[in-house]
């Protein structure tokens, strides 16, 4: 991870117990990767100098589209990858105001013949390193895709290897946040609000020059520069979770340059922050009840034999761990917040057998099995800087509005509503205004775009995938009838993987209404 300096930090202990993040769309997506949606049959590559796109590039930006990439080995950590730095304007509206550098990595196609081009992969986030993700997962793409495409990742502006936001915080996010704590009364909600203001003030002080320029539209424009420099007429792209929002934004800005786009675990761009977070807590509740129903049918279920009983036992365990935490090694205290965070990871990854074992262990006073659901998380400042500029991820409610929302959140999700509601305040004091408004994205004129949705996705509920597919003028929905967050190459569904592979390598869309298991 990006090193953070040791001076002038906000003390971790002061904030850990106060600031909450719902881990919406990809706090733990460092293991995810996605396939791009469809263009017509095969895509023609542009010349190496990008001249095929020059006519559509404003003169003041042309120097960025005509720069020369210098690829070098990425190093021992990624021996099969090449890395390069791309210059882009800090401010696309004022390109003479200065440049920033983005880092990109690629793994060359394995095929000997003419490939399709480059496949840009984004794992989600906001704030997740696309490079780290692709290095970890590139070999999981099927041979046909690896033979057809150079696999490419670029860390979005503000993230890890690409001019990162550094607010001098020592607060990594965890699966559902750091220091999760339920917010059920005005005093608690007010304390969270104070903590969010401390974070916002620190970011304004230490990274204010960069904060206005890390929004999704700028990241999408960066992808277009990279597309041209890679020699592709059209962008081929796989985006998971937040990566679907980034991909849809690209399609809106550059519909004629859309190639084969796969948007998996889709975000509905028409939702504001309140609607998005409420949908998420409902998604986690649905995923928990899906797990609980499966567990209840098993003789050895540690959570009882009905969905209702499982919910009560989960709440009882959380309260018990808050009173008397379990120890995990010498450094980790498993509180109720920690426990719920681990449960959400299991729901996101649909690891039900492992979750049953972990719950059984906790009931016996042993938290060892929970460790498999832990994540190092991502830097909170990098996450927040991107999230707060985008309507679905950056709600800006006051403490009073948040308190008023609590009853609806608890009705929607008895198990997770308390945690989710606090996220409504996380951007209330952010020093930069949003760069987008919540609105449907239609992208008229774009080539066919493949949207993938899971019927029991906790982080981006299925309703969001259906909504995005309807909005896009060329959207086609592919459904996975199952559990977990995102589907392609993640759920073991031959049906999903084959349908996406055909789209990526042949430009062949699945039939309308296609449902896979």
Q: Which two tokens stand for residue 97?
A: 């105001």
Helices 380-387 and 186-207, axial angle in degrees (round to 10): 90
List helix spans (H) across 270-324. Answer: 273-296, 307-323
What is the DSSP pairing of strand 475-483 with strand 449-456? parallel
Tens of pLDDT, residue by residue over 46-81, are 333 333 344 589 999 999 999 999 999 999 989 999
Burial classification of residue 69, based on how many CB atoms lie within 10 Å of its CB (0-12 exposed, 13-18 middle, 19 or more buried): middle
Between 39 and 463, the more confident residue is: 463
Domain extent listing, the chain: 1-61+107-517
> Does residue 229 surpass a pLDDT of 70?
yes
Cβ–Cβ under 8 Å, residues 190 and 399: yes
Which pLDDT score is estimated for 182? 60
Identify the residue whose tokens are 């401010």. Answer: 91
Q: Which two tokens stand for residue 111?
A: 């095929």
Q: Which residues are catalytic?
A: 241, 457, 485
**Phi and psi of 305, rounded to 5°?**
-130, 35
3-state secondary structure of 84: strand
Name the range with the highest mean pLDDT among 29-43, 130-144, 177-191.
130-144
Cβ–Cβ under 8 Å, residues 413 and 281: yes
Tens of pLDDT, residue by residue over 328-370, are 888 788 988 889 989 999 999 999 999 999 999 999 999 999 9
**Phi and psi of 490, rounded to 5°?**
-120, -30
- What is residue 461's DSSP assignment? -
Cα(363)–Cα(380) distance, integer angstroms:
32
Q: What is the mean pLDDT of residues 97-126?
A: 92
Which helix H or strand E contains 229, and what residues bound it?
Answer: helix 216-229
Name which of 249, 261, 266, 267 is nearest 35 in CA terms. Answer: 261
Name the range with the highest mean pLDDT among 147-156, 184-193, 194-203, 317-326.
147-156
Cα(20)–Cα(191) distance, integer angstroms:
11
Q: Kindly report the number of other CB atoms within 10 A of residue 353's CB atom.
A: 11
Q: Which residues pair with residue 177 across a beta bridge?
A: 175
Cβ–Cβ under 8 Å, residues 234 and 39: yes
């Amino acid at each position: 991870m990006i090193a953070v300096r040791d001076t002038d930090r906000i003390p971790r202990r002061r904030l850990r117990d106060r600031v909450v993040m719902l881990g919406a769309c990809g706090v733990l997506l460092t293991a995810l990767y996605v396939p791009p949606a469809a263009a017509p049959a095969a895509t023609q590559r542009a010349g190496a100098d990008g001249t095929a796109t020059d006519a559509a590039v404003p003169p003041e930006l042309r120097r960025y589209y005509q720069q020369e990439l210098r690829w070098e080995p990425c190093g021992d950590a990624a021996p099969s990858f090449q890395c390069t730095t791309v210059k882009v304007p800090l401010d696309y509206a004022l390109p003479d105001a200065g440049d920033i550098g983005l880092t990109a990595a690629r793994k060359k196609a394995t095929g000997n013949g003419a490939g399709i081009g480059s496949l840009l992969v984004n794992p989600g986030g906001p704030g997740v390193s696309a490079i780290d993700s692709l290095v970890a997962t590139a070999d999981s793409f099927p041979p046909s895709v690896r033979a057809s495409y150079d696999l490419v990742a670029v860390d979005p502006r503000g993230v890890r290897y690409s001019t990162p936001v550094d607010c001098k915080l020592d607060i990594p996010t965890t699966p559902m946040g750091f220091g999760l704590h339920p917010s059920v009364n005005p005093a608690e909600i007010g304390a969270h609000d104070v903590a969010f203001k401390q974070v916002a003030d620190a970011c304004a002080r230490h990274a204010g020059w960069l904060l206005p320029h890390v929004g999704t539209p700028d990241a999408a424009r960066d992808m277009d520069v990279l597309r041209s420099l890679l020699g592709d007429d059209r962008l081929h792209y796989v985006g998971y979770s937040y990566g679907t929002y980034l991909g849809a934004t690209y399609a809106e800005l550059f519909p004629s340059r859309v190639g084969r786009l796969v948007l998996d675990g889709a975000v509905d761009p028409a939702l504001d922050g309140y609607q998005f977070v409420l949908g998420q807590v409902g998604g986690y509740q649905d995923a928990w009840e899906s797990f609980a129903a499966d567990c209840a049918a098993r003789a050895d279920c540690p959570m009882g034999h009905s969905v209702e009983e499982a919910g009560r036992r989960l709440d009882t365990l959380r309260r018990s761990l808050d009173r008397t935490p379990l120890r995990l090694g010498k450094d980790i205290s498993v509180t109720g917040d920690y426990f719920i965070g681990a449960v959400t990871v299991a729901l996101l990854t649909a690891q039900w057998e492992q979750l049953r074992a972990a719950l059984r262990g906790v009931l016996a006073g042993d938290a060892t099995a929970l460790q498999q659901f832990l994540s190092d998380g991502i830097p909170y400042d990098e996450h927040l800087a991107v999230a707060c500029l985008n309507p679905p991820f950056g709600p800006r409610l006051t403490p009073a509005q948040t308190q008023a929302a609590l009853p609806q959140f608890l009705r929607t999700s008895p198990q997770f509503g308390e945690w989710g509601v606090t996220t409504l305040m996380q951007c209330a004091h952010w020093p930069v205004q949003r760069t987008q408004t919540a609105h449907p994205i239609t992208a008229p004129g774009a080539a066919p775009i493949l949207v993938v949705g899971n019927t029991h996705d906790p982080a981006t509920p299925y309703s969001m995938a259906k909504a995005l597919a309807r909005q896009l003028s060329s959207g086609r929905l592919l459904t996975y009838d199952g559990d977990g967050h995102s589907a392609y190459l993640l759920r073991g569904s031959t049906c999903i993987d084959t349908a996406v592979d055909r789209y990526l390598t042949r430009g062949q869309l699945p039939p309308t209404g296609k449902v896979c298991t």
